[in-house]
Each structure stands twice: as structure tokens, then as C-alpha cells.
Amino acid sequence: METEQSTLQGIWLPLVTPFRDGALDETSLRRMLRHYAAEPIDGLILAATTGEGMTLDEAEVERLVAVSAEELARIGRPLPIFLGISGSYTRQVAAELAHTASWPIQGYLITCPYYTRPSQEGLRRHFSALAEATDKPILIYNIPYRTGVNLRNEAMLELARHPRIIGVKDCSADPAQSFDLTCRRPSGFAVLTGEDPFFYSALTQGADGGILASAHVRTRDFADVREKLLCGDQPGALADWRRLADLPPLLFAEPSPAPIKHWLWRAGLIDSPEVRLPMTEVSEGLAARIDREIERIR
């Protein structure tokens, strides 16, 4: 099935949530937003995996969204904001959609139910029910190595018919499944890779972009890879990617987002590399490796 260009595309940043002394660090958050608003990104994901969303209480998530929307409005960069949501009980997730309906967000990134491992029919009904529970667009987050369940393409393509299910953050870790989806998806259904090391190959196989934690660093270089491919400059895109390819493994050498936060702290974008348990700070060895890479590219 041939597709028109998706309305959801480019580089989306799953923004880290900065903390200081156990609390949301609004000063660092605003500094990050000003920085990334000047970069070629196409949208923000808040309170998802990279944003340590499962460690945030309800008031913190609401404040995170409010500050982000306020700062983007203040600087005149109307980036779309999608809120990360997860849960294994459909009714409870639907209640969260209702609770956040008036927040200044444009859509949701919703993870497949974790731990319970529902059937494909259960997944289809789950997301169909959620799409009926909101008037905002939904991106499905398919990441079976975290949730324990893989939303396969037949069910995904059925869900893609719903007007409010507009795409997927694809972390299926199955290249054949990902390629099949880009070939068969309906018009306007976005495929955004969430596998940072495979960003270039995903683009060459038809992905519309990526939701990339690694793009906190060298953001413009990630965008340039996609831009060169869109312009037909495959050799240039490949050359750029070869210069970037070692970055995602470095930033995922230990559990995310600790390595990214260490980099942003060293770069002066956040005032502390603090993460919340069960996440821990990076090891001394990885910190030294990151510090050396920062010095190398300056």
C-alpha cells in the first residue's frame, strides 16, 4: 500500500526531566527548552521513558507540561508536545486521558500494556478504547523488550484505521516487522523509529523520522542525516551517519537517561545529572568516556 507523506515526521525529542535535590528543576527545564527550541526538532515527548515518567507524581507531570508549554509560548516556538502515558489497565489509562484533556498538549505517546502480556486482540481493543476516550491524537509505543508484548503488524494496521491513532514509535527490534509496516501502512500513519542506533537504516527503509534520546546531543547532525536523504544525497547522509554512529552506543552504555543527563550536565544545560531510583548515576568509567567525547567534539 503506497502512502502519502505522514503528517508526523522528523526528529522528536523525548526530553529528559531535570531534577535537583529530589525536586523538578524548573530552571534547568526552561534552559533546555530554550536550547532545543533553537534546534531543528519537530516535537517534544514529555514524561516518557527518557523523561523518567514513571518516577513522577501527578503534580510533577502537570507542572512539567505547564512549564514547557509556557516557555515555548514565551519564546515563540510552538513545538507540539506529546505526553507519555503507560499502564496495564485500560480503564485507568482512559481515566488519565480524561484527567489531562485540558492540559496544553497536542497528543499522547501510549505504551503497550506491560507485564500482563495481552493477546493481539486485547492490544487492539485496548488502543481502540483509548482512542475513543480522547479527542487528541495517539502515537502507539511498541517496545516489546520493555513491556513483554509485541503489537504485531496485523493488529497495528487495524488500529491505524482509527483517525486518532496517527502513528507508532517503533522499537519492535525486528527489522522485518518494521520494514513490512512501512510498506503496508495507510496514508498519514507515521512510523517513527525509537531505535537510536538504527536511525539511518530506518530512514532508508521508509520511516518518517525518529523519537531519539540520543538527539539531546548533536541534535542538528541527526536532523541533517534525514534532510540529506530527503534531498537525495544518500552518500552525504551516510557520511554524516558514520560520524554519528558511535554516539547512541555511548549514551546507552548504561541505563538511560543517566548517560544523557551526565552529558547535559557537563555541557551546562542542566544543573545536576540527578536521576531517581531505581535509576542510578553513571559509573566513573562511563563518566570519563563521556567527558572525553565532549572534549573531542568541542
Catalytic residue positions, numbered: 141, 169
**What sign does the dihedral 173-132-114-262 (CA atoms) show?**
positive
Closest C-alpha to 189, from 166, 206, 207: 166
What cell does 9 get? 515526521
Annotation-wise, does 27 bind a ligand?
Answer: no
SS3 13: strand
* Cα–Cα distance for residue pair 158/156, rounded to 1 Å: 5
**What sign does the dihedral 39-41-44-48 (CA atoms) show?**
negative
Cβ burial, residue 185 (10 Å; 0-12/13-18/19+): buried
Judging by DSSP bridges, how do beta strands 43-46 and 81-85 pair with one another?
Answer: parallel
Annotation-wise, does 211 bind a ligand?
Answer: yes
Which residues neighbour 230 within 8 Å (Cβ) at sequence distance 6 or greater? Answer: none
CB atoms within 10 A of CB 66: 13
**Binding-site sequence positions for pyruvate:** 50, 211
**Binding-site sequence positions:** 50, 211
